[in-house]
Amino acid sequence: MKNSLSVFAFFIIIQSSIAQSVIIEEDIAADTIPATKGPNLNQYSHLYVGFGLIVGPIEGSGVNLLHQNSTNFQAGYRFKRRISRINDVGFDLYYGVTSFRLRQETGKTFPTPGLYEREKINFSQVGLNLYHRFNFGRRGNIIRNFIDIGAWGQYEFMTKHVSFQRHTAPNNQFARKTRVASRDLDYANTLNYGVQARIGIRRYSIYGLYRISDIIRDTYKGDPFNFPELPRLIVGLQIGLHG
């Protein structure tokens, strides 16, 4: 009898322990706060980098570009917020450098008639891009296929003209190489804006930037300077630094 009571008591204790374990598990599950941050949840942010080529035409005369050496680089922070199953809105904060490489040939007048081994005009900028994202296909909690349409504005905090020349004999400064950098270019607009589009698959996206504003000031487009407007279109690849 004592053995039976002992066994009965043992099973009662085991059953009680199991019941308590289940109750504890259920309480934890009930108290868990649903995740709201993730690639396909309410909020998500990540870093990104991008590299593009300047492909648009010059408006005017006086210079031609070496398009294969005229580039755009961006590095930035991207945030998005989900507003429906297929729609997100967000913004990019970025640092960038746009470099226009000038072709050296007879007839060049912009920004001067001087010919060099290499010559370029650099614009270093910080900017903000606001975008609307359209998502496609089944995704789960990952970034899958999307199209972004947005508008951007940027401040050119540094404008710089750079020329480089090698000499067959030392020049009057006894140098065989000369690199001249001129900053704070008066003919450059420092506030620019435009539109952007991206087509993406997961972390990779093809982007296009179109500048609506003129990057050359109007006062330099007439006599006596007759400066041209530099190309407005950039196409490249961006890579999101996320899983």
Mean pLDDT score, 129-139: 88
pLDDT tens-digit profile of 52-71? 999 989 999 999 999 999 99
**CA 15 → CA 20, 40, 115, distances in Å?**
9, 42, 92
Confidence of residue 30 (pLDDT cuts 50, 70, 90): very low
Q: Which of 212, 215, 172, 171 is nearest to 191 (CA)?
A: 215
**CA 52 → CA 20, 108, 121, 176, 217, distances in Å?**
61, 25, 16, 33, 24
> pLDDT value at position 6?
53
Mean pLDDT score, 202-229: 96
> pLDDT value at position 226?
96
> Could you identify the residue written with the tokens 């099973």?
11
pLDDT tens-digit profile of 220-240? 999 999 999 999 999 999 999
Rounded to two decimals, the pTM is: 0.81
For residue 21, the tally of other CB atoms under 10 A from its CB is 10
Q: Which of 132, 128, 134, 159 is nearest to 146 (CA)?
A: 134
